Amino acid sequence: MAALKQTQTLCQHRRRTYTLVEALGTMMRKTNYMSMSDEQAHAELCSAESTLLQAALCILDGEDLAGFLRATIKIKSSYNIYKECSRILEKKPWESEMSRMHFQSGVRLGLATFSIMIAMLPPRLVTLLEFVGFSGDKEAGLAELQAGAREPGLRGVLCELTLLAYHLVVSHFAGATPDFDLCQRILETQLKVYPEGVWFLLFEGRLQLLRGRCALAAATYLRAADTPHLWRQLRHLCYWELMWANAMMMDWRGAAGFAGRLIEESSWSRTVYSYAKAALLLQLGEKGTPAERRQAADLLKAAPLYRQRIAGKSLPMEKWVSRRCERYAVQGGRLLLPAIELLCLWNMLPALSGDAAAVHSMLKQIEVTDERLDREENLWPSALEGDNRALLAYLRGCCLVVLGVPRLALHHLDHVVRLKEKIKEDSFLVPYALVEAAMCHHSLGEVDRAVNILQDTRKRYSNYSLESRLLFRIHSKLQIVRENPPTPGGSKDSPDFARPPSRQPGRAEHPQAVA
């Protein structure tokens, strides 16, 4: 923050200054850019960049509403300066082509990033932002970033890093479709130039992870984490990704080890880290040692104590974790498949679409857990039976979606919806299941039905856990459904993939028996 303040001071000394009369004149007529020097133009651009970075730090550092208000004002100021820079680029006579080229790469980077991020927000937020002067167009923003990456401007490499971040992080979070081929081309080119470049190694690992090459991803992240003099926060990011890579390989104990390192070294969210380690240890089941079970119990007891509050509100995932910790106590020291549930909620299962064996192994664990729930029904709280049955059906449905058997997946996802009245706490499972069901209908060629389900889910359901996360995904799924025609293939649906929900008195059943 001190360095950014120094940067802003430097920019103010180099930016174009106006007398009172000139300032009043610019309000009544168009600004004259003919007399602006290249240095003054670049000072405007640097001011926009540093203002945006200051806003980001205000959000990270401030824990009250005033911090968020300051950040909002700075974001709007940065956006306005970027718009001014776009006019400078268009109308100013440049002293050298290289100066113009570097300036253009910065303008493209800034406006394109704003445009993409705004376009990815849910419609209600976009309408509000457009009212106060923002605008967003994802395709135009991506095209500008690619143009900036191709040109030899100073910020060309930042355009490439932004493209990688969008496709490999933002798109994955929002449930959009990443362009893996573009990411591969960028990484192949840049890793030849910067073979030890940590940012490119991180994105290389992320690309491998999302393609389901978990062992290669883990090796890449370990290589990045071992980089000398690496920023501590980037090493923690490597540990976080290594936790997921090991979990996707169902090395629960190895994944728990990296979660433990995050608990010891990182302060980002000890609540989430503590729950993640406990969930991974509990996922070991009978293979876990008594010491590991005791450790999991201690972690679940301590996790809610680390909850953070920003602007007076808890983080959504930390709030959800606290509820799961309470569930563990209510259920007598038990949770149903907590690590697989985390993989589903973090949208990591689609990356395993090329590893059918791993998904089948998860389905087998779900099957075994369902049978155990039948046998030990008297040991579980009867009031939460609907929640537990819905969770198992949701996890099974998600696995079947990944295996490409949408009709059978729909059977279990519909079962979640039919259990809606019996669910006491985990109301989020219903809208989450509906979104998965909508994409199943899309893959079966039922586009209108998919659109209706997504729109209806967005309108009808609210005030459930992890709501914002799902609203982002619904927005992206609607774009996918409308823009990409379905490619239904031969159905692989077979009763061998998973059995239907058990038929017991008082439990909702599918109207048609599975063959």
Residue-by-residue DSSP string for 163-176? HHHIIIIIHHHHT-
pLDDT grade for 505, boundaries at 50, 70 and 90: very low
pLDDT grade for 23, boundaries at 50, 70 and 90: low
pLDDT grade for 491, boundaries at 50, 70 and 90: very low
The C-alpha atoms of residue 356 and residue 361 are separated, in whole angstroms, by 9
DSSP string, 275-321: HHHHHHHHHTGGGS-HHHHHHHHHHHHHGGGG--EETTEE-HHHHHH
Residue-wise pLDDT for 200-231, tens only, equals 999 999 999 999 999 999 999 999 999 988 88
- Asked if pLDDT for residue 125 goes beyond 70, the answer is no
| pLDDT given for residue 514 in this prediction | 31
pLDDT grade for 513, boundaries at 50, 70 and 90: very low
- Asked if pLDDT for residue 508 goes beyond 50, the answer is no
pTM for the complete prediction? 0.86
Residue-wise pLDDT for 135-164, tens only, equals 778 889 999 999 999 988 999 999 999 999
The C-alpha atoms of residue 266 and residue 235 are separated, in whole angstroms, by 10
Reference 159, options 171, 168, 147; nearest CA is 147
Please report, rounded to a whole number, the percentage of residues in the chain having pLDDT higher than 90.
70
Helical H segments across 138-231, by residue range: 138-150, 156-165, 171-174, 180-193, 198-210, 214-225
Q: What are residue 314's DSSP bridge partners? A: 309
Residue-wise pLDDT for 304-338, tens only, equals 999 987 666 788 999 999 999 999 999 999 999 99
Residue 29, CA distances (Å) to 24, 26, 32, 171, 315 in order: 9, 5, 9, 42, 47
More confident residue, 313 or 426: 426
Residue-wise pLDDT for 368-382, tens only, equals 999 999 998 888 999
pLDDT grade for 64, boundaries at 50, 70 and 90: low
The C-alpha atoms of residue 156 and residue 151 are separated, in whole angstroms, by 6
The chain-wide mean pLDDT, for the chain, equals 88
The C-alpha atoms of residue 120 and residue 137 are separated, in whole angstroms, by 9
Residue pair 175/477 in contact (Cβ under 8 Å)? The answer is yes
Reference 48, options 137, 125, 110; nearest CA is 110
Label the pairing between strands 313-314 and 309-310.
antiparallel
